[in-house]
A and B are shown apart, each in its own frame.
Chain A
Amino acid sequence: MSNYEEQVQKIVSLKRYETPRDGYFEDFLEEFQERQRSELLQKSSISLFFERFAAWFREVGSVKWVAGAGLAYAAVMAAILLWPGGPGTTPDPNSNRQPASFEPDVKSFTPPAPVKEDPEIDGQKL
C-alpha cells in the first residue's frame, strides 16, 4: 500500500469516533419495542393466523408438497361430492316432474269428437 493510501485510510478512519449521544441505544431499543407492540396490535387475528400458517408451511420442508397436493385433492373431491346435483347428493323426488310449458303438446293432441246431429241414446234415435 502506498504512503498516500495509508494517509487517506488514517484520515477516513477518524470517522469511527463519530458516535451518537449517551443513552441513544437504550432509547432506540425502547422505540423499537414500542413500534413492534403497536404493529402487533394493528394486525388482525386472521393475518396472524396466515403468517403463522405460512411460517409452519415453510418449516415442514419437502413434505409440504405432498401435504399440499393431498389438501388440494381433498378439496377437489369435497367440492365434487358436495356440489348440488353431484354424485354424492340424494335425488330429489320432484326432480322428474316436467317443466311447466305454455306451448301445447302437438303430437299428443287429439281433437274432440264431433257432436252428432241426431243424438242417440242407447242406439235409438230420439
Chain B
Amino acid sequence: MSTEPVKEPATDSDRELVRRAQAGNTQAFDELVVKFSPRLYGMVYHMTSNKEDTHDLLQEIFAKAYHSLKRFRGKSSFYTWIYSIATNMTLNFLKKRKRRATWSLDDVDSGIQNDDAMVDIGRAANPRHQSGVNELQKKLNEAMQSLSEDHRVVVTMFDIQGIPHAEIGRILKISEGTIRSRLFYAHQQLQGHLEEFIR
C-alpha cells in the first residue's frame, strides 16, 4: 500500500487497459487489479478495520467490476468508477455486519503496532506517548468505528488516503460542501476519542 497520499492517477493508461479488458483480454483486467488493489484495500480496510472482511470484500469488488466492465462507458475515470463500486459495496457490507449480533469491536484488527513507520510517526506526532503506539492504534480504530459510515468514509478518503474533495464528491455523488461539513463533524467526534494524544 502506498504510504503517500493518493493522487489522481493518470487515466490514459487506465483507458487503454479498460478498452482491452472490455474486449475480453483478462490480462489487461489483471493489470487493473494490480494497480488498484492497494488503494482499494486501504479504503476497505479503514472502513471495516478487519483484514479477513477486507480480503473477501475486495475479491467481491473486483469480481463485480469484472462483470460490470461492459457497462462502463468512460464518462468518469476508471478510478472513480471502481472506487464508487468499492464504497457502495463496503457501505452495504457494514450495514449487514451491523445487523449481525456476533460482531463487536473485539474483531477490530490491531496490525500496525509493529510497523516501524507507524512507531516512528507515532513518536514524532506525540513524544509524550512514545511507548503508547499500541494504545494509539487501539484508540484510533475505536475512534474510527465510533463514526457513522457516512462520516468514516470521508475521513478515510480525505485524511488517510489524501483524495481531494472534488474527487470524493464524484465517487460518493455528494457536494463538496457536504464533504467539508461531514469532515468537520467527524473531526469534532474524533477529538473526543483522541484527546490524550493531542498536544
Contact = CB atoms under 8 A, between A and B. Distances in A.
Interface of A: 4-5, 7-20, 25, 28-29, 31-33, 35-36, 39, 55, 58-59
B58 A28 contact: yes
Interface of B: 1-3, 5, 26, 30, 33-34, 37-38, 41-42, 45-46, 51, 55, 58-59, 62-63, 66, 70-71, 111-112, 115, 117-118, 121-122, 125-126, 136, 140, 143-144, 155, 159-162, 184, 187, 190-191, 194, 197-199
Contacts of B191: 4-5, 8
Given A4-B191, A8-B190, A8-B194, A16 B37 contact: no
30 contacts: A5-B184, A5-B187, A7-B198, A8-B191, A8-B198, A9-B159, A11-B194, A11-B197, A11-B198, A12-B143, A12-B190, A14-B122, A15-B140, A15-B144, A15-B160, A16-B1, A17-B118, A17-B121, A18-B45, A19-B3, A19-B115, A25-B38, A28-B55, A29-B33, A32-B30, A32-B33, A35-B59, A35-B63, A58-B70, A59-B70
Contacts of A33: 26, 30
Contacts, number: 104
Contacts of B30: 29, 32-33
Given A5-B187, A8-B198, A14-B118, 17 more contacts: A4-B187, A11-B125, A11-B140, A11-B194, A12-B140, A12-B144, A12-B160, A16-B162, A18-B46, A18-B115, A18-B118, A19-B1, A25-B38, A28-B37, A28-B59, A29-B30, A32-B63
Task: Enumerate the 8 nearest inter-chain pairs by beta-carbon distance, A residue then B residue, closest first.
Answer: A18-B112, A17-B118, A17-B117, A19-B1, A7-B198, A12-B159, A8-B187, A5-B187
